[in-house]
Structure 1
Amino acid sequence: MDVTTNQISVEKTKNTKINDVDFNNLSFGSIYMDHMLVCDYKNGAWEAPKVVPYQPISLDPSAKIFHYGQSIFEGMKAYKDEQDTIWMFRPLDNHKRLNLSAKRLAIPEIPENYFMEGLKALLKTDSDWIPQSPGSSLYIRPFIFATGLGFHASPADEYKFVICGAPSGSYFSGEVKVLIEETYSRSANGGVGFAKAGGNYAGQFYPTKLAQDKGYQQVIWTDDNTHEYIEEAGAMNVFVRINDTLLTCPTSDRILDGITRKSILKIAEDEGIKTEVRKIKVQELVDAAKDGSLKEMFGAGTAAVISPIAGFGFRDNDYMLPTNLENSYATLLKDRITSIQYNKAEDKFGWRFKVE
């Protein structure tokens, strides 16, 4: 079934919460806008999406989401420029990745026009919730989960697709130090590491807590087999600058193909920065830190865009990175990306999407 924005039914809330929000002092992802998009999969097909007031979701205790974890999500943002025009950043890539995750977890794929027209209908309904204070945006969370019933270990026959939004400030604040993980693994060959599956993140919480107990904010995941190679930084892709070369790991079925990651590589190329997509040994990082050639490390993802890493721990030793770097790649790349997102600079790549 094809749908357009105007065909999506909208039930407006009678009690807006917007007047209680301080848009100049936003935390990340803890205040939710007035409406959400919902769409149910039943009898082998997706039903018509609709915008309804933000509300709890009622589920039967036998719903398969509780027992077998069929749950996937995306993270994206909406922005407002000085003319109050609404923009998104590479939303079709989010749709494509959501369906890659769906396929891997045996969830029915969501049609592109349901995703895009649903997003537009929701953003138009709650356009006043998109903040314009510096560094803020509307964080958008599309997700799909199993609602079908049964204790039998098999895919559900019913699902729910939801999009919610949260006006948000910065994801990280303060200095970020990471611990290189050698015991636990984020994902394994043949697994679901490339998918944005809820279980991937649940499995990270315990080893991350252990790192936090030692004074670190996040972990650097290593490969599941030898733990010799770095792979991701917390819930983000990781970049390393050695001398003037920017390095990142190749994607695989263990590593998420980040949209911010792809954007960074393209902008770096446009800036004439030498990049290499290859495996990076932990020992290479340690050696570069010791000889001074390790200039920068940063995580990259939708929530934080780019999060500089101040230092890393490995086998009871801490290695700090240079501070106040004059020609920081992290600063340059973040400025380039956010200028495109907020419609402050030319978008030569065609990434910016106008919500009309």
Structure 2
Amino acid sequence: MTMNIHPELLSVVERFELPDELGFGETLAPVMCRLDYADGAWGEGQLLPYADISIDPSAKVLHFAQVVFEGLKAYRGEYAQIKLFRPHMNAARFNRSCARMLMPELPESLFIEGVSAVSACVAPLVPGLPGQSLYLRPLMFGTQPSLGLAPSDSFTFLVIASPSDALITGALRVVVERGMTRASTGGTGNVKASGNYGASLHSSMAATDSGFNQPLWLDAREQKYVEELSAMNFFAVIGGELHTPGTGGTILPGVTRDSVIALAGDLGIPVREGRIAIDTLLQQIRSKQCTEAFACGTAAVVAPISVIGEKDGAMYELPEVSGPVANRLRDELLDIQEGRTPDRFNWLYTAGM
């Protein structure tokens, strides 16, 4: 695509100063990419200084939540190169989300060029300490001004970015959510529609208020089987094997999840994808047959779980909070992402403008 670069963009980057404490998603890079869709076609890409955007109060996105997004990371590699982690997989998932939400396909080349250009433009601001990264947030939303219930015919695609520290540095405490549900069969649980995350906020905040980090969601039909956390996939080590729920149409097929499964296979760790009954899992933790549990996602990478709690006060503490399987998978993944070991899976993509 033709990328129009704002004449003041480089000076904006040069003047930008990173704070001493980055946090996660709190420090916004001073650059964004924008493309607009109208009359059945995508317009020219623009690299712009990060700024507010104007939107009509009757825009479809504000009334019918016609918005999807992605999350991926870029890392500082050798010779100051900026490496994106598996952006093509994010591009494919982005378009699956768009299809489900009746939004136009964004050609993979445009998605890759957008995240690549932003990453390359802010290369001096990509932090390089272990655990740090440039977190990228591509998103698309309907902009047509109309109050009628119908899909938008105009859209905006943006890429914004945040130089960030690690999201999670310790172990997670999670609570089983047996009342509310996040996604059901035939819904949008298997795509990255923003409404999924809005629907999780009530239980997520209740979990935080009760001393936990996140809820552990169960299936909507029977409230019996483990699905995922609000923003992470779930794994457990049971009998020396790695178990994770199959995606099955209600669980987001995470990029990190896919990477963990590939790494486990490469390391000779047996992987089982399928149903995990919550009551059986809790019994296996008590009997120490389940030795570890962890969550994974783009933001968190691999985060060990120390305890799974119930709202009635029952607590199930994992025998190995920072166990050998989770630690090895996390170290292997970060070593590839941060360039300390060869990229034997060809997961890294060099950013450029």
TM range (shorter): over 0.9
Alignment check: 8 A CA contact 2:227 2:234 kept: yes
What is residue 285 of structure 2 aligned with on the other side?
289
Alignment check: 8 A CA contact 1:177 1:216 kept: yes
SS in 2 for 1:276: strand
Change (3 A) 1:141 1:18: farther
Alignment of 1:139-178 (within 5 A): 139-178=135-174
Q: d(CA) in 1 for partners of 2:285 and 2:230? A: 20
With 190-199 and 339-348 compared, the bigger mean Cα shift is at 339-348
What is residue 348 of structure 1 aligned with on the other side?
344
Q: d(CA) in 1 for partners of 2:49 and 2:24? A: 21
User: Which letter does structure 1 place at the counterpart of 2:166?
Assistant: S
SS in 2 for 1:167: strand
Given the alignment of the two structures, is residue 64 of structure 1 paired with residue 70 of structure 2, yes or no?
no
Given the alignment of the two structures, is residue 226 of structure 1 paired with residue 222 of structure 2, yes or no?
yes
**Could you tell me which of 173, 185, 189 is aligned with 2:181?**
185
Alignment check: 8 A CA contact 2:65 2:195 kept: yes
What is residue 5 of structure 2 aligned with on the other side?
10
Given the alignment of the two structures, is residue 107 of structure 1 paired with residue 103 of structure 2, yes or no?
yes
With 7-16 and 310-319 compared, the bigger mean Cα shift is at 7-16
- Alignment size in residue pairs: 349
**Could you tell me which of 254, 257, 269 is aligned with 2:253?**
257
Alignment check: 8 A CA contact 1:99 1:109 kept: yes
Q: d(CA) in 2 for partners of 1:49 and 1:15? A: 19
Cα offset for 1:306? 0.7
Given the alignment of the two structures, is residue 205 of structure 1 paired with residue 181 of structure 2, yes or no?
no
How much identity, in percent, do the aligned residues show?
Answer: 35
What is residue 87 of structure 1 aligned with on the other side?
83
Q: d(CA) in 2 for partners of 1:240 and 1:351? A: 25
Q: d(CA) in 2 for partners of 1:273 and 1:83? A: 34
**Could you tell me which of 12, 18, 21 is aligned with 2:18?**
21
Cα offset for 1:281? 0.4
Alignment of 1:332-347 (within 5 A): 332-347=328-343
Q: d(CA) in 2 for partners of 1:29 and 1:212? A: 19
What is residue 316 of structure 2 aligned with on the other side?
319
Change (3 A) 1:67 1:319: same
Alignment check: 8 A CA contact 1:297 1:309 kept: yes
SS in 2 for 1:28: coil
User: Which letter does structure 1 place at the counterpart of 2:175?
Assistant: L
**Could you tell me which of 69, 84, 89 is aligned with 1:73?**
69
Q: d(CA) in 2 for partners of 1:15 and 1:221? A: 43
Change (3 A) 1:330 1:41: same
Given the alignment of the two structures, is residue 217 of structure 1 paired with residue 220 of structure 2, yes or no?
no
Q: d(CA) in 2 for partners of 1:172 and 1:148? A: 38
With 79-88 and 39-48 compared, the bigger mean Cα shift is at 79-88
Deviations 1:43-68 (A, max 9, x none): 11111111011000111111111100
Deviations 1:20-72 (A, max 9, x none): 323x5320001111110000001111111110110001111111111000000
Give the TM-score normalised by the residue count of structure 1.
Answer: 0.95
Cα offset for 1:274? 1.2
Q: d(CA) in 2 for partners of 1:222 and 1:295? A: 21
Alignment check: 8 A CA contact 1:18 1:129 kept: no
User: Which letter does structure 2 place at the counterpart of 1:300?
Assistant: C
Alignment check: 8 A CA contact 1:17 1:34 kept: no
SS in 2 for 1:138: strand
With 309-318 and 224-233 compared, the bigger mean Cα shift is at 309-318
- Cα RMSD for the two superposed structures: 1.5
User: Which letter does structure 1 place at the counterpart of 2:245?
Assistant: C
SS in 2 for 1:267: helix
Deviations 1:98-119 (A, max 9, x none): 0000000001010111111222
Cα offset for 1:16? 4.4
User: Which letter does structure 1 place at the counterpart of 2:153?
Assistant: D
Q: Which runs of 5+ in 1 are unaligned?
A: none
